[in-house]
Amino acid sequence: MTNIFVVGLGYVGLPVALEAAHYGNTVYGIDSDISKVNRLNTGESYIEDIENKTISTALNSGNFEALSELPKLESESIILICVPTPLDKNHDPDLSYLLRAVEDVGRVLVKGCLVIVESTVQPGACRNIIVPILEKYSKLTRKDFYFAFSPERIDPSNREYNIKNTPKLVAGLTPEAANKSRDFYSQFVSQVNICDSIEVAETAKLLENSFRLINISFINELSIFCSKFGISINQVIEAAATKPYGFMPFYPSVGVGGHCIPVDPLYLASTARRIGTPIKFIDLANEINRGMPEHFVFRSEEKLGGLQGKKLIVIGVAYKPNVADVRETPVEALIAGLKSKGAQVYWHDDLVKEWNGEKSVALTSDFDLAILATPHDYLDLTKLGNVPVLNTRGSI
């Protein structure tokens, strides 16, 4: 089978690497984090959805090994780049991790290899930025290797959809590259769709999560109305969702987090502004989303008649239930806002355990207010006793 090199062993790269290994490919997982490499090579997982035995099976089969850097490649190797593409401090696209990874791949790239980027990028980035870097560092032309883009569709903790049953998009710089990518993914993905161009695939990925950001932000704004009006937003959503067409339920929260929803739309908005066609819906949705923590600071003040000197516990700091991932979590802004009002703020999350130099505290009755931010399944709120609870997921 073909040698596969997966660069970046996070929530995206590791599942892909293990699936490819399961189907008989020789897979080398590459990550600059030595601790991750060491843990994997001893059969230890650091991702909730992947069990230790899955890694051990891959290791024992001889089909998987983790490395800290790319080795010399051979012709016809397949290289997947699955590194983060976050936002910078100004909330603009940050391709620095991706560009460093692309440079590293370019240095060892040889004729006949297939390079697939799974990292999210703005439209035009693959053709105009990434491929030229590969050419520069490999001293090859784009005719000497195959290049494709296949945006990741990973939803941590989703019990219904996984790599195998989530349709995969692929697009190649050439039809041959697209076909090679389709053939590779078809080993372990039930449906692989080839897009007409790389730019279509890039934009489709951004549309998926812009759609979610806009709708979640709308529901968050509507939840504020429902709270003020004295009705349950969740009951309203439940009633609307009885319509079998033309409606899709979204649910309120303290804001959206993670590596996709609060990030990807801004990659699209950035390109839209650059070419002179700003997408106002994205800008407005982002504004509403980023304002939700402040709203719940205000709600906390209302409940307690002020926050100065009050002892609060925020429950759940991960960006979504049942994961330990705190990337772009809106709970960070919530805690900062509560502290700015003079509150003593503690947090509980047994999945995260340690974060921002602080540790998770136990659920007890020794608080003036509990704010339920991320409802993990394991939580037992009866431990709070009579502490009032502000539920960011739809309380009146």
Gyration radius from the chain CA atoms: 23
Query: What spatial distance separates the first Cα and last Cα of the chain, rounded to whole Å?
Result: 58
291: left (phi over 0), alpha (psi -120 to 50) or beta: alpha
**Which SS3 state, helix, strand or coil, does residue 267 take?**
helix
Rounded distance, CA 290 to CA 189, Å?
Answer: 35
Please name which of 39, 21, 32 lies closest in space to residue 81, comparing C-alpha atoms. 32
Two tokens, residue 96: 């620095």
144: left (phi over 0), alpha (psi -120 to 50) or beta: alpha
Catalytically active residues are 260
User: Distances in Å between the alpha carbon of 273 and those of 58, 88, 120, 212, 270?
Assistant: 45, 17, 18, 20, 5
E strands, the chain, are 3-7, 26-30, 64-67, 78-81, 114-117, 146-149, 168-172, 192-194, 311-315, 344-348, 354-355, 358-359, 369-372, 389-391
Amino acid of residue 252:
P
**Which SS3 state, helix, strand or coil, does residue 66 take?**
strand
Helical residues (DSSP H) of 73-124, grouped into ranges: 96-108
Amino acid of residue 61:
S
